[in-house]
Amino acid sequence: VSSPAGHFASIPSLHFTSIDCSHPSHPSQHTVDYMIGKITPKQLGFALTSFVLGVWAFITVSAISGPAFEPIIAACSNPDYKGNMDEFVTQSGYHAYEPMVGLKLFELLVCITTQFIFELNQTFPAGVVTWGGLILVVQTVAVLCTIEAGRKGARGFIRYSILFGLLGQLFGISVVFPMLWVPAYILGRGNGPISKRRMHACIPLSLPAIGLTLAVFGVDTDSYAWKVCAGMLGGPVVPLVSGVLWTDVPPVSPNNETIQASVTSVKKLYRIAAIMSAVGYYILIYIVYGAYASEGGGGGFGTILGRLWLDIWTDANPSVAFMTIDTVVLYLGVLLLVAYQDTEKAFKAIVLTPLFGPAAASLVLAELEETRYEHQEETDNEDSKKKE
């Protein structure tokens, strides 16, 4: 879902081009058009804006979390503690973690994120509010990424959900989504319907993050179950779940009936995600009100918001501040993606956000699914006229 370890790795370069392998020495005209340009100023503007947003997030979270997490990284990477958890806890003073859920390759990441999640758990209500807020936005992002990865004609980074998830854990999703995924979507999104298999898997794939979040904020932190859940939530397990769609392919020759069925299903998926996110949003409001209204000094709306802001930003510890940036930047990335398609819809999402929280983005994405095919039909008609 997200990770404080992002500033310790370098982001690999990704190329958003596709090659027609049917004629190796003569790429198709569609591929040539894509490779030589056909990028509009609008595409370039939105892609660059999103990329810059991701860069800003990377620099900012690195500055905030870097000094605080250096001793954690030193302890987690200390070979003297290898295979001896009791000594790790006693000597370092950090919380025990479960190395197995790191699948060996990501054991360091699991150690770091377990300490990160533990600090959030101990910082109430700011910790649960900021992490919970991120999970609400992730509901939209998870459905969006799963759908777009399965469309015919999709190119580049948006096709690789597992890679996106793993990079999100390593660098922070607020970095990877606006820096890599949104530009890739703008420059290489597909337009076809998705398979029934993907339709049925879409919502279930978003459930592990919700269940694990409930566990890490509800289970006793001294229990073995908590260690496992924290490690799974911050490690590679959640991203790897999307591997169930590894062999999925979009409909080869979709007809109008197939397309309409896909449109209906995608709209339904976004609306289900919106309901789930809205329920979570109201629960967080209840938690915030319960935590601050009972304190001295009154419980007015402005007062509660002021205290919340102090806890999640002004006086926040590094973990909470990290999550505040993660949540806000991730949602801005989604709004940028919506604005690229329809600025009025983006404005509508902003207006609805105070009422429904991040669920507003899912609602407008459901509306955009219809117009997406209308625009595609217009483009196809223009291309047909040019050929004639």
pLDDT of residue 372: 76
Looking at residue 374, its pLDDT comes to: 64
Q: Give the pLDDT score at 220.
A: 97
Q: What is the pLDDT of residue 68?
A: 87
pLDDT at 345: 97
Q: Which long-range contacts (CB under 8 A, 24 or more apart) does 262-269 make?
A: 262/192, 262/193, 262/194, 262/199, 263/193, 263/369, 263/370, 263/373, 265/194, 265/199, 266/147, 266/194, 266/199, 266/366, 266/369, 267/366, 267/367, 267/369, 267/370, 269/143, 269/147, 269/199, 269/202, 269/203
Q: Give this prediction's pTM.
A: 0.87
Per-10-residue mean pLDDT for the chain, 388 residues long?
51 33 36 53 97 97 90 94 92 96 94 97 97 97 97 93 95 96 96 93 95 97 98 96 94 87 96 98 96 71 89 95 97 98 97 98 95 60 47
Q: Are 369 and 266 in contact (CB under 8 A)?
A: yes
DSSP state at residue 22 = T
Q: How far is CA 46 from the centre of its chain?
A: 18
| pLDDT for the residue 219 | 96
Burial class (CB in 10 A: 0-12, 13-18, 19+), 196: middle
